[in-house]
Structure 1
Amino acid sequence: MATTLTALRRQIDSAGDLKSVVRTMKASAASAIGQYERSVAALADYSHTVEQGLGVCLRSAERMSSPTTRLSSRPDNILLRAVVFGSDQGLVGRFNEVVVEHSVTALTQTTSKVWTVGERAHARLIDAGIQPEGRFEVPGSVELITRLVGEILTKIQTPDANAKNETQPTALILFYNRPTAVGYAPVSQQLLPLDANWQHELASRPWPGAQRPEVLDTSVQTLRAFIREHLFVSLFRACAESLASENASRLAAMQRADRNIGELLAALHAHFHRLRQTGIDEELFDVVSGFDALSSSDTT
């Protein structure tokens, strides 16, 4: 009995320690979610500014018959460059499985080069029969997202030395999880070629001021500069939203773990008290039996 009670007490202590760890991870995940959501909100004003400038450049390019129309073409032999955002750490539920399943269909339908953000998504793409070109580490804070975006842009824009057709048109698409009211959902975003309808919408968007600005410098160079900023903003937002979704998934997993540990602790405490009461009852029964035996011998 003593051994059983000791073992139960150890289980209760271990479950209590694990509950403390889970609560710490819950607090950390909740804090991280707010951090990344605030970064996305702060990026909105800059993104709006970039789109306004890009719209001005597109209007100027249309008047000058710039060859930007090729950015919106989608030939059949296009080379797809894709970035799949996942996680490096576990305890995130089906976070990585969801985004990989969402990306596999598109990646297997055309010639593609894939890079992953996170070791877990990298491994699951390999399991799905897709060999990524490379892997990036998941940034641990908002400050590190900028460095990751720079690494991604440098890598995907580097010409392939082994490419047989250097003039083959390319596209760039992102796969990541986006926060929703009930958790997160997988989404895909095509960055290049620029969507023709989106370009037309930007070019026809009314200017907030009384007089529309004009591009004084070479319009093509200015347009390319705004496109680079558009790529930066889109990649930064995708990474921040993926990190917010990752922490939301981890928070949900920790909440389930906290609830399960609480139920386990309640069951262990109940079992412990039953065994302890049983031990006390047995000891009392032994005392009563011994007293009865002594009383019988004295009477004899």
Structure 2
Amino acid sequence: MDSLESLTRQITGAKELNSIVRTMKAMAAANIGQYERAMESLDDYWTNVSLGLVAYLKDIGLDNQDVRENENNSKGEKSICAIVFGSDQGFVGQFNDSLSQYVQESLSTHRGKLEIWTVGVRVPLLLADMGLTVTKEFNLPNSINAITALIGSILVQVEENRQNGNVDEYYLFHNHLVNEGSYEQEKLRLFPLDAEWRQEKAQLKWPTQKQPEVIGDSSKLIRRLIREYLFVTLYKTCTESLASENLSRLNAMQRAEKNIEELLDDIGHTYHRLRQSSIDEELFDVVSGFTALKND
């Protein structure tokens, strides 16, 4: 049976842990706010870049071209690269586990060459346990200001592979917010910008009745638009993943705080019951001693 001293230590430790949990919960809530604001800005920028690509496709007459040009390539086995955005830190619930399971299920039917790049130190371990080989690992940025450096490093590797012809397609795997308080896994095709991609972009409608017109060197324009499109898509994916990570941590801290409060309540009841029992025993001893002295 626990003593009063042992229960006191447990109560002190639980209160200190509860203070840490509340601090982490506040930090996660603050981070979610800044990442959500960044995502709102990125949505507008991503739309503008996509509309620029739509204008270019209309100008060169490829906006309505179908995907038949890829039929021959689709018959062979394609080499793909999966870029998986996880987390560095723990206390995120099933954030990395559910994402790793989703990646395994998505890639299980692929029979060609496969590369897996990961962002964050926890996902590679989970993927390795599932029998998947991680070929490149990137450090996860700990703030919005550090995301640009990460995206630059990834794009450098993508460009090297493109020049060497090592990879046919790139896919992004990450968690993204779906509504307040929840997130889900998503698979997004990043590259190449082929006929299938053009057909997807053709669904975007120009916001005005006036037809867009390309002015200047169209070759330079398309290179810049594609570079911006790849950059903002990766940036948006990373930001969504970080927002989802902090949401998962916030939910985990809320559950931990509830469990700690329940534990403190149980220990408190036990402490007060034991203390009252100790007081009753001391009073009984006093009364017994007084009665004995009175009889003498």
TM-score for both structures, normalised by structure 2? 0.89
Displacement of 1:69: 8.4
Per-residue CA deviations over 1:45-88 (Å, capped at 9, x if unaligned) read 2111101110111123336999x986896453211011001000
What are the within-5 Å matches in structure 2 for residues 52-201 of structure 1?
52-62=51-61, 74-108=74-108, 109-110=110-111, 111-159=113-161, 166-167=164-165, 170-181=168-179, 182-194=181-193, 196=195, 199-200=198-199
| Residues 60 and 219 in structure 1, CA contact (< 8 A), matched pair in contact too | no
What are the within-5 Å matches in structure 2 for residues 1-300 of structure 1?
4-62=3-61, 74-108=74-108, 109-110=110-111, 111-159=113-161, 166-167=164-165, 170-181=168-179, 182-194=181-193, 196=195, 199-200=198-199, 202-203=201-202, 205-209=204-208, 211-297=210-296
| Residues 63 and 198 in structure 2, CA contact (< 8 A), matched pair in contact too | no
Displacement of 1:8: 0.8
Q: How many percent identity over aligned positions?
A: 43
Inter-CA distance 98–205: structure 2 relative to 1 (3 Å threshold): closer
Runs of 5+ in structure 1 lacking a partner?
Answer: none
Partner SS, residue 281 of structure 1: helix
TM-score for both structures, normalised by structure 1? 0.88
Runs of 5+ in structure 2 lacking a partner?
Answer: none
| Residues 124 and 134 in structure 2, CA contact (< 8 A), matched pair in contact too | yes
Inter-CA distance 209–65: structure 2 relative to 1 (3 Å threshold): closer
Per-residue CA deviations over 1:132-186 (Å, capped at 9, x if unaligned) read 111111111111111111111112322399xxxx546610100000112241100
Per-residue CA deviations over 1:263-295 (Å, capped at 9, x if unaligned) read 000111111111111111000100111111112
Moved more, 139-148 or 252-261: 139-148
Inter-CA distance 58–178: structure 2 relative to 1 (3 Å threshold): same
- 1:115, 1:272 → 2: CA distance? 52
Per-residue CA deviations over 1:197-238 (Å, capped at 9, x if unaligned) read 652354475433454333244434432321221111111111
Which amino acid letter does the alignment assign opposite residue 97 of structure 2? Answer: E
Which amino acid letter does the alignment assign opposite residue 80 of structure 1? Answer: I
- 2:81, 2:177 → 1: CA distance? 24
User: Who wins on radius of gyration, i.e. which is larger?
Assistant: 1
Inter-CA distance 197–263: structure 2 relative to 1 (3 Å threshold): same
Partner SS, residue 118 of structure 2: strand
Which amino acid letter does the alignment assign opposite residue 83 of structure 1? Answer: I
CA RMSD of aligned residues (A): 2.7
Partner SS, residue 178 of structure 1: strand
